[in-house]
Amino acid sequence: MPRRGMRTSLLGTALVVGLLAGVAGCSDNVDAPPSVTISFGHPFPSTHPVHVQVFEPWASEVLQATGGTVTIEFYPSQGLSPRSEVYQNTADGGQGIGWALQGYSLGRFPAAEVVGMPFIFESAVEATEVLWTLHDEFEAIRNEYADVKLLGLWTHDVADLWLAAPQASDAPDLSGLTVRAPTQIQVEVIEALGGGTRLTCPFRKYGPHWARVISTA
């Protein structure tokens, strides 16, 4: 069955976090800075554009900026923890750096989820700039990341809503459909707009198989 898309202005939020405590380095030369290898685990395969075009170039810049003393060692494809546990595993010291959607940790970032409200932003750039401003100005948002060192924070672009069945032109057309949203606040928004009540969040159960799940309803 063909998939149909409906443009929306719902945004998901991604974050890169690090916890460097306990990372040890060694060197034969006491005058030289210690060398450190930091693990970086994330859900993407190693061929994903975010890994290839964002993470790898950044790791190269870190290596160059530190004179070759800090190496980022990647563990893609959930190599260190399941996507839903990346944040907690990083906070617990199981990995040095992690990337995750905030929706993977339901209820953990209620203040930061404000940028997921619909019909506010025109682009991910605008939403990301606002999110950082809110982070800097409001302790409630900063406190949500108090157990890690926040390395990066950004939103996805405005979303597409993919349906297996008839075209939806308004929220009530979603009534009775199972819709998966990136954050809890978006689940609540869709319900408030008249969407179906069988909404779940996020894509953690199906992961890379989401397209097949949608096409088969």
Mean pLDDT computed over 75-89: 92
Question: Is 64 exposed, middle or buried, given 0-12, 13-18 or 19+ CB atoms closer than 10 A?
Answer: exposed
- Nearest to residue 154, comparing CAs of 99, 84, 76, 85? 99
pLDDT of residue 176: 73
Mean pLDDT computed over 5-26: 43
pLDDT of residue 179: 73
CATH placement of domain 13-155: 3.40.190.170
Question: Is 166 exposed, middle or buried, given 0-12, 13-18 or 19+ CB atoms closer than 10 A?
Answer: exposed
Mean pLDDT lowest for which of 68-77, 94-103, 112-121, 143-152?
112-121
Which range, 17-26, 81-90, 154-163, has the best average confidence (pLDDT)? 81-90
Is it the case that residue 167 has pLDDT exceeding 90?
no
Distance, CA of 31 to CA of 11 (rounded, Å): 48
Tell me, letter by letter, the H, E, C secondary structure of 118-174: CCCCCCHHHHHHHHHHHHHHCHHHHHCCCCCEEEEEEECCCCEEEECCCCCCCHHHH
3-state secondary structure of 38: strand
Using one digit for the tens of pLDDT, what is the confidence trace for 182-202?
777 777 877 777 766 455 555
CATH 3.40.190.170 region(s) of the chain?
13-155
Using one digit for the tens of pLDDT, what is the confidence trace for 91-122?
999 999 999 888 888 788 889 988 888 778 88
Does an H or E element contain 4, and which?
A: strand 4-7
% helix / strand / coil in the chain, to the nearest 5?
Answer: 35, 20, 45
- Nearest to residue 127, comparing CAs of 146, 155, 151, 100? 155
Count of C-beta atoms within a 10 Å radius of residue 191? 17
